[in-house]
Amino acid sequence: MNPIVEHHNAKGRSDLEVKVGVRYWVFEFKVCNSENDGKELLKEAILQLQRKEYGLQELEEQILRVALVFSLEKRKFIEFSQCD
């Protein structure tokens, strides 16, 4: 694995990118204080991945972009989605 934290591109920086074999994973993390914010933060993370085109500068066979929301209250990820 080759992890890159806060990888910059021309439009911003992703939270975490990891190359594993032929797959290139791009993660965008959000943190919420209450469960009510989870869905909104997930939408925000998905839009950020799409608008800023995180990971698309890489020439890999398979790019997987994932948005995740971590709850401070529950101490776990409460929302996640793979983006196109």
Partners of 71 in the beta sheet? 32, 76
Measured distance CA(49)–CA(39) in Å, rounded: 16
**Predicted model pTM:** 0.85
In tens, the pLDDT along 27-83 reads 999 999 876 788 999 999 999 999 998 888 777 678 999 999 999 989 999 999 998
Predicted local confidence at residue 32, as pLDDT: 92
